[in-house]
Amino acid sequence: MSAVEVTHLRRVYKITVGVVRRSAKEVVAVDDISFDVHPGELFGLLGPNGAGKTTTVKMLTTLLLPTAGSARILGYDVTHQPERIRPRIGFIFGGERGLYWRLSATDNLRYFASLYHVDPEVSRSRIPFLLEMVGLTGREKEKVEGYSRGMKQRLHVARTLLHDPEVLFLDEPTIGLDPVGARELRHVVQNLQLEGKTILLTTHYMFEADALCQRIAVINHGRIIALDTPEGLKRLVSDLSVVEVEVFGSAETVVDRVRALPTVEAVNIETLDQRQVLQVQSPQGSEIVPGILNALAGIRMGRVAVREPTLEDAYVRLVGGDK
Amino acid sequence: MNRELRGNLRAAVAAGEMALRSNVMDSFVLFGLLVQPLVIAVLALWMLQDRGDNYAIYVVVGSGLTGLWSTLLFVSGNGITAERWTGTLEWLTSVPTPLTWIILGKTVANVTQSLISMVAAYVLASLLFGYPLSVSQPILFLVSIVLMLLSFVAFGMLIAPAFVLNPDVQRWQNAMEFPVYILAGFLFPIALLPGWTTPISYLLAPYWAARALHITSSLQGGTTEILASWGMLLVLTGVYFLIARRLFRLTLRRARQDATLGVQ
Among all residues of chain B, which has the CA nearest to that of A67?
B257
| Boundary residue ending a domain (A228, A244, A272) | A228
Neighboring chain B residues of A100 at a CB cutoff of 8 Å: 18, 86, 88
Same domain, yes or no: A223 and A247: no
Question: Hey, are the CB atoms on A86 and B261 less than 8 Å from each other?
Answer: no
The answer, yes or no, to whether residue B157 has pLDDT greater than 70, is yes
Question: Hey, are the CB atoms on B94 and A86 less than 8 Å from each other?
Answer: yes
pLDDT at residue B100, as a whole number? 93
Same domain, yes or no: A9 and A117: yes
Give the tens place of pLDDT for each residue, A1-43: 899 999 999 999 888 777 777 788 888 999 999 999 999 999 9
Give the tens place of pLDDT for each residue, B116-150: 888 888 887 777 777 777 778 889 989 999 999 99
Question: Hey, are the CB atoms on B96 and A97 less than 8 Å from each other?
Answer: no
The answer, yes or no, to whether residue A272 has pLDDT greater than 80, is no
The answer, yes or no, to whether residue B213 has pLDDT greater than 80, is yes
> Which CATH number belongs to the domain containing residue A171 in this structure?
3.40.50.300
**Element containing residue A26 per DSSP (H, E):** strand A23-37
Question: What is d(CA A317, CA A319) in angstroms, rounded to the nearest whole number?
Answer: 6
pLDDT at residue A262, as a whole number? 87
Question: What is d(CA B256, CA A10) in angstroms, rounded to the nearest whole number?
Answer: 14
Provide the domain limits for residue B18.
Answer: 3-263
Average pLDDT over residues B220-248: 91
> Which CATH number belongs to the domain containing residue A298 in this structure?
3.30.70.260
Using CB atoms, which residue from A58, A97, A115 is nearest to B102? A115
Q: What is the mean pLDDT of chain A?
A: 88
Same domain, yes or no: A263 and A196: no
The answer, yes or no, to whether residue A292 has pLDDT greater than 50, is yes
A12 at B interface, C-beta within 8 A: no
The answer, yes or no, to whether residue A110 has pLDDT greater than 50, is yes
Give the tens place of pLDDT for each residue, A183-239: 888 888 998 999 999 999 998 888 888 889 999 999 999 999 999 999 898 888 888
| Boundary residue ending a domain (A164, A198, A228) | A228
Average pLDDT over residues B204-220: 86
Question: Hey, are the CB atoms on B259 and A102 less than 8 Å from each other?
Answer: no
Question: How do beta strands A241-248 and A275-282 pair?
Answer: antiparallel
Number of domains comprising chain B: 1
Using CB atoms, which residue from B7, B92, B102 is nearest to A117? B7
Question: Hey, are the CB atoms on A112 and B94 less than 8 Å from each other?
Answer: no
Question: What is d(CA A196, CA B146) in angstroms, rounded to the nearest whole number?
Answer: 51
Question: Hey, are the CB atoms on B90 and A63 less than 8 Å from each other?
Answer: yes
Question: Hey, are the CB atoms on B18 and A111 less than 8 Å from each other?
Answer: yes
B1 at A interface, C-beta within 8 A: no
Same domain, yes or no: A200 and A298: no
A320 at B interface, C-beta within 8 A: no
Average pLDDT over residues B19-34: 79
Same domain, yes or no: A69 and A114: yes
Question: What phi and psi, each to the nearest 5 degrees, are found at residue B256?
Answer: -70, -30
Give the residue, B30 or A52, on which the prediction is more confident.
A52
Same domain, yes or no: A144 and A92: yes
| Boundary residue ending a domain (A164, A194, A228) | A228
pLDDT at residue A315, as a whole number? 83
Confidence at B218, pLDDT banded by 50, 70, 90: confident
Same domain, yes or no: A241 and A224: no
- Furthest C-alpha separation in chain A: 72
Give the residue, A251 or A55, on which the prediction is more confident.
A55
The answer, yes or no, to whether residue B264 has pLDDT greater than 60, is no
B91 at A interface, C-beta within 8 A: yes
Average pLDDT over residues B216-221: 75
3-state SS string for B182-198: HHCCCCCCHHHCCHHHH
Confidence at B33, pLDDT banded by 50, 70, 90: confident
DSSP B14-38: HHHHHHHHHHHT-HHHHIIIIIHHH
Among all residues of chain B, which has the CA nearest to that of A68?
B257
Average pLDDT over residues A265-284: 84
Nearest CA among B54, B56, B61 for reference residue B45: B56
ipTM at complex level: 0.84
Question: Hey, are the CB atoms on B259 and A111 less than 8 Å from each other?
Answer: no
pLDDT at residue A322, as a whole number? 45
Residue % of chain B over a pLDDT of 70? 95
B252 at A interface, C-beta within 8 A: no
Same domain, yes or no: A192 and A223: yes
Number of domains comprising chain A: 2
Question: Hey, are the CB atoms on B10 and A120 less than 8 Å from each other?
Answer: yes
Provide the domain limits for residue A315.
Answer: 235-320
- How many Å lie between the alpha carbon of B1 and the closest alpha carbon of chain A? 14
Same domain, yes or no: A153 and A194: yes
Same domain, yes or no: A64 and A79: yes
Residue % of chain A over a pLDDT of 70? 98
Same domain, yes or no: A59 and A150: yes
Give the residue, A200 or A176, on which the prediction is more confident.
A200
A104 at B interface, C-beta within 8 A: no
- How many Å lie between the alpha carbon of A141 and the closest alpha carbon of chain B? 16
Question: What is d(CA B36, CA B173) in angstroms, rounded to the nearest whole number?
Answer: 16
pLDDT at residue A163, as a whole number? 93
Among all residues of chain B, which has the CA nearest to that of A59?
B256
Question: What phi and psi, each to the nearest 5 degrees, are found at residue A123?
Answer: -65, -30
Average pLDDT over residues B10-25: 89
Question: Hey, are the CB atoms on A63 and B257 less than 8 Å from each other?
Answer: no
Using CB atoms, which residue from A58, A97, A102 is nearest to B87? A97
Neighboring chain A residues of B87 at a CB cutoff of 8 Å: 93, 95, 97-99
Give the tens place of pLDDT for each residue, B56-79: 777 888 888 888 888 888 877 888
Neighboring chain A residues of B98 at a CB cutoff of 8 Å: 83
* Nearby residues of A315 by Cβ (< 8 Å), 6 or more positions away: A46, A206, A218, A233
Same domain, yes or no: A163 and A274: no
Give the tens place of pLDDT for each residue, B172-188: 877 888 888 889 888 77
Question: Hey, are the CB atoms on A102 and B25 less than 8 Å from each other?
Answer: yes
Instruction: Give Cα B215 distance to the centre of its chain.
Output: 19
Q: What is the mean pLDDT of chain B?
A: 85
pLDDT at residue B53, as a whole number? 60
DSSP A203-268: ES-HHHHHHH-SEEEEEETTEEEEEE-HHHHHHTTTT-EEEEEEEES--HHHHHHHHTSTT--EEE
Question: Hey, are the CB atoms on A115 and B97 less than 8 Å from each other?
Answer: yes
Question: Hey, are the CB atoms on B257 and A65 less than 8 Å from each other?
Answer: yes
Neighboring chain A residues of B83 at a CB cutoff of 8 Å: none
Neighboring chain B residues of A163 at a CB cutoff of 8 Å: 96
Confidence at A323, pLDDT banded by 50, 70, 90: very low
Instruction: Give Cα B222 distance to the centre of its chain.
Output: 26
